Every structure is written in structure tokens, then in C-alpha cells.
């Protein structure tokens, strides 16, 4: 997916930024087209790695059992279940976003939130950091923040939804989280956030 048209250096967009805008606002206020939908381009590679490791484990265990003469339907079913569990643990969720929505699809189930109705965005640090989105309808979706760093189009769509929620007075916590990820997601220096601390909405 194309990042869109980037005008000549020094261009400052005259149009404002809001729910009806077709453009995202980036550091330095460079005008870049925001795609209709975006997804994690690294997901296929992660899926193939998980599938390869799980398949390799199943093949090795089955071959060892067969060589020892201990392979039977029960043990074969057990090794298959074990390989499936390994695949489920290693396979990354597929993160997809569009205008006003975010979907995180795992192996067994998916989660969807309205990004234009967000109430909270949390970043939980640690060895496996998680970015959590919660909307006004109780929807909740989470994924690794590195996904946004590797997919600028996803960040643009989520940032647009977060600002729309803020402008509507819904988002009470978390917009600075997306601002903090801006430099990693789109490159260059970070920007000064154009929201006001202590306010839950505008107007």
C-alpha cells in the first residue's frame, strides 16, 4: 500500500484536520494521504515462522516416535495438539485498521474497537509491551506497539481516530501515547501535541 503523495518540501497544508479530512497530520505538518485501510505488512512473515516451527516440531516428534516403534493414534493426536498450541502461541495477531475502526485478529478469535469512539489508550511497558485501545461501547483490542512503528499507514489511521474521539470529548486518557509513537511510526522528529493536558475534549 502506498503511503500516498508527498508534496514538495516546505509545503504547509492550508486545510485543517478533522473527521472529514482525507489527510493525516505528521511531524512538521507534512501533508500525506491517509489510506482507506491498512494492515500489518509483517504479519505474513510471522505467520510463516510460527507455522514452520510448529510443523517442524510435529514432524520431529512424530518421526522420533515412529523410529522407536511407539507411534500410535493417541500419541499422534497428542503431538498434533502440542504443535497446534505452539503455533497459537507464536502466531502474531493480524492488525487491520480503517476509517473509524481497528481489528486485531488472533488464531481463534478477533477483537474490534471503534477508533472514533475511543475512551482510553494505554501503553503497558515491559518485556512484551502492549498497546491497548478501549472504546465507549466496551470494545477492547491490544497489540504490540512495534506494529505501528513498522506500519506508518496504521499509525495515521489510529491517530486520526484518536483525535476524532478527543474532539468529541470521549477520549479521557491516552492521546499522548500515539503522539509519543509518531517519530517511530513516520520517521523524523516528534511533534508537539496539539491537545491540551487536563481536557477530555474540545469545545
pLDDT number for residue 90: 94
CB 154 within 8 A of CB 3: no
Would you state the cell numbers that stand for residue 125, as one nine-digit string? Answer: 511497558
Whether residue 165 is predicted with pLDDT greater than 90 in this model: the reply is yes
- Angle at 34 (CA atoms; ends 28, 35), nearest 5 degrees: 155
Burial of 193 (0-12, 13-18, 19+ CB in 10 A): middle
Per-residue pLDDT reduced to its tens digit, 12-39: 333 333 333 333 444 444 444 556 889 9
Whether residue 62 is predicted with pLDDT greater than 60 in this model: the reply is yes
Every domain of the chain and the residues it spans: 43-90, 93-186
Buried residues in 13-31 as b, exposed as e (16+ CB within 10 A): eeeebeeebebbbbbeebb
Closest CA to 98 of 138, 153, 24: 153
Compute the average pLDDT of residues 95-114: 94
Compute the average pLDDT of residues 70-83: 95
pLDDT band at 202 (very low <50, low <70, confident <90, very high): very low
pLDDT band at 197 (very low <50, low <70, confident <90, very high): very low
Three-state DSSP class for residue 191: coil
Buried residues in 96-113 as b, exposed as e (16+ CB within 10 A): bbebbbbbbbebeeebbb
Whether residue 78 is predicted with pLDDT greater than 60 in this model: the reply is yes
pLDDT number for residue 174: 79
- What DSSP element (H or E) covers 32? strand 31-33
Per-residue pLDDT reduced to its tens digit, 110-160: 999 999 999 999 988 888 889 999 999 999 999 998 898 889 899 889 989
Q: Given CA atoms 56, 62, 66, 69 in this order, what sign does their dihedral have?
A: positive
State the pTM of this model.
0.69
Compute the average pLDDT of residues 45-62: 96
Quote the percentage of the chain above a pLDDT of 90.
53
CATH number of 93-186: 2.30.29
Whether residue 44 is predicted with pLDDT greater than 80 in this model: the reply is yes
pLDDT number for residue 6: 40
Residue 114 CB neighbours (<10 A): 18
Amino acid at each position: 500500500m502506498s503511503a500516498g503523495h508527498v508534496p514538495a518540501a516546505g509545503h504547509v497544508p492550508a486545510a485543517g484536520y478533522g473527521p472529514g479530512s482525507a489527510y493525516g497530520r505528521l511531524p512538521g505538518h507534512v501533508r500525506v494521504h491517509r489510506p482507506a485501510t491498512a494492515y500489518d505488512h509483517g504479519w505474513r512473515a510471522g505467520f510463516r515462522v510460527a507455522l514452520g516451527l510448529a510443523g517442524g516440531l510435529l514432524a520431529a516428534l512424530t518421526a522420533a516416535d515412529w523410529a522407536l516403534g511407539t507411534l500410535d493414534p493417541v500419541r499422534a493426536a497428542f503431538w498434533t495438539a502440542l504443535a497446534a498450541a505452539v503455533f497459537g502461541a507464536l502466531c502474531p495477531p493480524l492488525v487491520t485498521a480503517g476509517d473509524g475502526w481497528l481489528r486485531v485478529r488472533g488464531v481463534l478469535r478477533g477483537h474490534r474497537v471503534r477508533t472514533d469512539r475511543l475512551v482510553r489508550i494505554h501503553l503497558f511497558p515491559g518485556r512484551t509491551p502492549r498497546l491497548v485501545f478501549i472504546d465507549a461501547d466496551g470494545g477492547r483490542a491490544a497489540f504490540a506497539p512495534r506494529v505501528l512503528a513498522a506500519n506508518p499507514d496504521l499509525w495515521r489511521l489510529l491517530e486520526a481516530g484518536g483525535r476524532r474521539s478527543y474532539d468529541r470529548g470521549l477520549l479521557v486518557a491516552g492521546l499522548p501515547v500515539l503522539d509519543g509513537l509518531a517519530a517511530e511510526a513516520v520517521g523524523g522528529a516528534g511533534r508537539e501535541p496539539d491537545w491540551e493536558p487536563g481536557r477530555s475534549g474540545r469545545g
